[in-house]
Amino acid sequence: MNRQAFTLFELLAVLTIIGIGLVVVVGSYGSWGTAHALTGTTRVVEAGLQQARTIAMTQSKYVGFLYESSATNHFQIYLCTNENAEVAATLGQQYSGQTMTESKIAALLQKLGQTPAAPDQRLTGHIRLAYLTEPTSTTTEETGILFFCPDGRVFGNPAETSAHYIGVYTRSLFNQQPLCRLIRVDLATGLVAVIQPEPKETP
């Protein structure tokens, strides 16, 4: 009777194929998980912005939306308790909108008589937020703030002409660059929209 069995070479070949398959599957799962975290974080930030706008309009108050990824990855909604005319004057005089460090933002919020309007929202460490001066900008700041007015409009960086942009990025690189989503806040209406940027062409 002839006995058929795998040779050592055949066994090594099968194990190699299985190993390659596992690497591909695990790598794909990791990429999918990070992309899923990016989508989830983007939706949370979008909902937070919409909540801030709603609070401003329903309570007829100025509402600040602070976001940062420098020390902690989070955003916070603040209700400005001072009179609206005083808040508007303070914003016009004090808020330059340029390189708003944590200390400058804390001083500004104190002058506005702020109080938290919602719990501090911590975000996953895999994703970071950044302020973009324009949607195609490569220069980002890890701390940003904007204010929703009682009529829904947005008071932001004086250099902004039509919208305030928040970048939501993965910390991990994919194809030599992080995955990214852009959140656009219209200055005239305060409406929020998520932009899925087109992939950059590779030469």
Helix (H, G, I), strand (E, B) or coil at 153: coil
Domain boundaries, the chain: 9-195
Q: How many residues does the chain have?
A: 203
H helix or E strand, kind and range, residue 74: strand 74-80
* Between 64 and 134, the higher pLDDT residue: 64
What does the pLDDT average to over 193-197?
A: 82
CATH of 9-195, one of 3.40.640.10, 3.55.40.10, 3.40.470.10, 3.40.190.150: 3.55.40.10
Phi and psi, residue 63, nearest 5°: -130, 125
Q: What CA–CA distance (Å, rounded) separates 106 from 108? A: 5
Position 125 pLDDT exceeds 70: yes
For residue 35, count CB atoms less than 10 angstroms from its CB and return exposed for 0-12, middle for 13-18, buried for 19 or more: middle
Q: What is the DSSP string of 91-124?
A: HHHH---SS--HHHHHHHHHHTTEEESS--EE--
Which residues, at least 6 apart from 19, have a Cβ–Cβ distance to it below 8 Å? none
Q: Which pLDDT band holds residue 42 (cuts at 50, 70, 90)?
A: very high
Indicate the average pLDDT of the chain. 80
- Count of alpha carbons within 13 Å of 131, Cβ hemisphere only? 24
Reported as half-sphere exposure (CB side, CA atoms, 13 A), residue 17 has a value of 6
Sign of torsion over alpha carbons 166, 171, 172, 177 = positive
| Window from 7-11, 109-113, 131-135, 194-198 with minimum mean pLDDT | 7-11
One-letter amino acid of 81: T
Q: Which two tokens stand for residue 58?
A: 């329903």
Please report the pLDDT score of residue 27 as a whole number: 46
Is the pLDDT higher at 35 or at 200?
Answer: 35
Q: Which residue has the higher pLDDT, 197 or 184?
A: 184
Question: How many whole angstroms separate alpha carbon 168 and alpha carbon 192?
Answer: 14
User: Which of 147, 75, 140, 72 minimizes the C-alpha distance to 108?
Assistant: 147
Q: Is the pLDDT of residue 91 over 80?
A: yes
Picking from 181, 133, 139, the residue whose alpha carbon sits closest to that of residue 161 is 133
| Separation CA 78–CA 154 (nearest Å) | 14
